Amino acid sequence: MTSENLWTAFGLTLFAGLCTGIGSALAFLTKRTNKKFLSLALGFSAGVMIYVSMIEIFRKAQDSLILGLGEKMGSWITIVSFFGGMLFIAAIDKLIPSHENPHEMHSVEEISESEKTAYPNAEKKLLRMGIFTALAVAIHNFPEGFATLIASLQDPALGVSIAIAVAIHNIPEGIAVSIPLYYATGSHKKAFYYSFLSGLAEPAGAIIGYLILAPFMTDTLFGIVFAGVGGIMVFISLDQLLPTAREYGEHHLSIYGLVLGMLVMAVSLLLFM
């Protein structure tokens, strides 16, 4: 692993995390959400994540574990690690109340309207909700950042695809953070600032995870981590991206986006193999 590869991987992770800022900017620059486009984009992001996790990440993790543990044990540990990743991100989701969970949010106009009417003259409640949402985004972004970094170190082309998919799904999170904070403080600057900070949890998670695990990294440990990363991304896609895509627009648009994301990922893997 070269320092150039590490910087490239970190740059991709930073890009994905900072896209929460794009969501924050969109919340203030647009009166209405382009629901059809966002539904298609979120479906596309889910398609990329699911395809790359099941076809590429799972296989590479299994190869590493078989190399270190033998075929039978390596295959079993791959399966356990994959579903362990799902359980890990599910536990994080469970600990966050649905009211503060950024993945429960919808469009710009819906959020704006709800924040103006839900707690009339109750800025403190809105501020609390906005800060908790920012913390929820940060908690979610930690494992996502580490996942993007690990994938990028293994295969830069794979890392680019995952970073783009994560970036797309970070945009609604930026909206979810910034709107309640804006109505609590009346300041676009403060709302954008907190949204920006929550996005920085993505590269922070990548750095912390890398510093902890890098000294002990072997084929076996890499396989376990990589399989867990695949499980995390599949769970995020099924539990967050696809349901949100359906909420934003028509059911068929989210599925079209899903299929398109899978197709683009399949072709890109073939071209860069």
pLDDT tens-digit readout, 108-162: 445 455 544 544 444 566 666 667 667 767 776 777 788 788 888 877 877 888 8
**Known binding site: residues?**
141, 144, 169-170, 173, 202
Condensed to tens digits (0 to 9), the pLDDT of residues 202-256 reads 888 888 888 888 788 788 888 898 899 889 889 888 887 788 777 766 678 888 9
pLDDT digits (tens, 9 = 90+) for 39-63: 787 788 888 889 988 988 899 899 9
For residue 120, being part of any structural domain is answered with yes
Residue 92 in domain: yes
Query: Whole-model pTM?
Result: 0.70
* Number of structural domains the chain divides into: 1
| pLDDT, position 105 | 46
Q: What is the pLDDT of residue 76?
A: 96
* pLDDT greater at residue 91 or residue 114: 91
Binding-site entries for Zn(2+): 144, 169, 173
In a domain, 152, yes or no: yes
Q: What is the mean pLDDT of residues 18-31?
A: 72
What is the end-to-end Cα distance of the chain in Å, rounded? 19
Binding-site residues for Fe(2+), in ranges, read 141, 144, 170, 173, 202
Please check whether residue 141 is in contact with residue 202, taking contact to mean a CB–CB distance below 8 angstroms: yes
- Alpha helices (H) along 2-122: 3-29, 35-51, 58-69, 71-95, 108-118
Residue 135 belongs to what domain range? 7-266
77 lies in some domain: yes
- Residue 257, in any domain of the structure: yes
Q: Does residue 1 belong to any structural domain of this protein?
A: no
Q: With 80 as the cut, is the pLDDT of residue 32 above it?
A: no
Task: Enter the tokens of residue 157.
Answer: 């082309």
What whole-number distance in Å separates Cα of residue 89 and Cα of residue 154? 22
Average pLDDT, the chain: 78
Instruction: Quickly count: other Cβ atoms within 10 Å of residue 125's Cβ.
Output: 14
**Residue 271 domain-assigned?**
no
Torsion of the alpha carbons at 225, 157, 24 and 144, rounded to the nearest 10: 0
Share of the chain above pLDDT 90, in %: 12
Is 272 domain-assigned?
no
Q: What is the pLDDT of residue 113?
A: 52
